[in-house]
């Protein structure tokens, strides 16, 4: 049975119902993950849970060690990740308390987040035209609909820098581009998950209309947290169903994603990098 990873965003710091719970500290070549990983079983499926911002929400979106988080998931045997995140809506049809399962991302980060494992003597180009794994998105959508929750399939997630919310000029610009929702974390995770050959999909919980909407003259943390807390229970209910289904999958679309991605001649890849990335590409590079 497949092992499924859960990355919890703002408001989602623990998952009830996990059996055989263990807290696991994972060492990575890229430093420390956001927190200890929680392993166990949910609906009979092996799961690995990590709070993205750490318990107590102490790590800013720009300061998250995304590489360590994804590497840790890989080290613990995760084959697919369901990422739960708060987001702002850029379209009237996505209302607070709705869920969106985007299928595209747009990068608006600017602080040099490291979003690849392949640096310092090795180059790899992963295919990323379709950044979301359809089989996981399908399961999340079906689970939400079975609970009669409002869920929207598809659309583009703008990954802004943060930690500040948007200006009205930014919000209206993204709307003019036809973007759908906005958040601060998921694109970086999706890129690294692809390089780790882990299928990835986002369950985005709408907490506000960003600041473009007449009713949202400014987005406040109080507003965001209010809707978020209401939606956390729904997100957990979706996950409980979705994980049970994902665990049954025999094939994941991200498997083999890096087979032909490494461009560097193996003879010149530093031995240190071969060792560091052995978990990810050892089967391809000798």
Catalytic residues: 208, 210
The bridge status of strand 99-101 relative to strand 199-208 is antiparallel
148 backbone φψ class: left, alpha, beta (φ>0; ψ -120 to 50): left
CA dihedral 194, 186, 4, 84 (to 10 degrees): -160
C-alpha R_g of the chain: 18
Q: How many residues does the chain have?
A: 286
What is the distance between the alpha carbons of residues 199 and 277, in angstroms, rounded to a whole number?
Answer: 18
What is the distance between the alpha carbons of residues 223 and 200, in angstroms, rounded to a whole number?
Answer: 28
- What phi and psi, each to the nearest 5 degrees, are found at residue 19? -100, 160
User: If we measure between CA atoms, which residue out of 43, 42, 47, 44 comes closest to residue 7?
Assistant: 47
């Amino acid at each position: 049975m497949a092992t499924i990873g859960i990355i919890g965003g703002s408001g989602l710091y623990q998952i009830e119902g996990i059996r055989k719970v263990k807290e696991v500290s994972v060492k990575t070549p890229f430093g420390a993950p956001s927190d200890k990983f929680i392993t166990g079983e949910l609906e009979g499926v092996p799961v690995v849970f990590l709070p993205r911002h750490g318990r107590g929400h102490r790590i800013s979106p720009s300061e998250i060690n995304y590489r360590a988080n994804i590497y840790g998931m890989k080290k613990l045997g995760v084959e697919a990740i369901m990422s739960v995140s708060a987001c702002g809506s850029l379209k009237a049809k996505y209302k607070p308390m709705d869920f969106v399962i985007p299928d595209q991302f747009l990068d608006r980060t600017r602080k040099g987040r490291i979003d690849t494992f392949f640096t310092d003597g090795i180059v790899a180009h992963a295919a990323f035209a379709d950044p979301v794994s359809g089989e996981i998105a399908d399961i999340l959508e079906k689970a939400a609909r079975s609970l009669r929750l409002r869920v929207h399939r598809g659309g583009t997630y703008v990954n802004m820098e943060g930690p500040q919310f948007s200006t009205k000029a930014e919000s209206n610009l993204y709307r003019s581009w036809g973007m759908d929702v906005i958040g601060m974390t998921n694109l970086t995770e999706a890129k690294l998950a692809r390089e780790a050959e882990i299928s990835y999909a986002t369950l985005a919980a709408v907490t506000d209309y960003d600041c473009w909407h007449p009713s949202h003259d400014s987005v406040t943390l109080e507003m965001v947290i209010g809707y978020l807390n209401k939606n956390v229970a729904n997100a957990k209910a979706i996950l409980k169903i979705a994980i049970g289904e994902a665990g049954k999958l025999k094939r994941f679309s991200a498997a083999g994603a890096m087979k032909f991605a490494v461009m560097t001649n193996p003879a010149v890849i530093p031995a240190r990098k071969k060792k560091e990335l052995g978990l990810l590409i050892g089967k391809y590079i000798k």
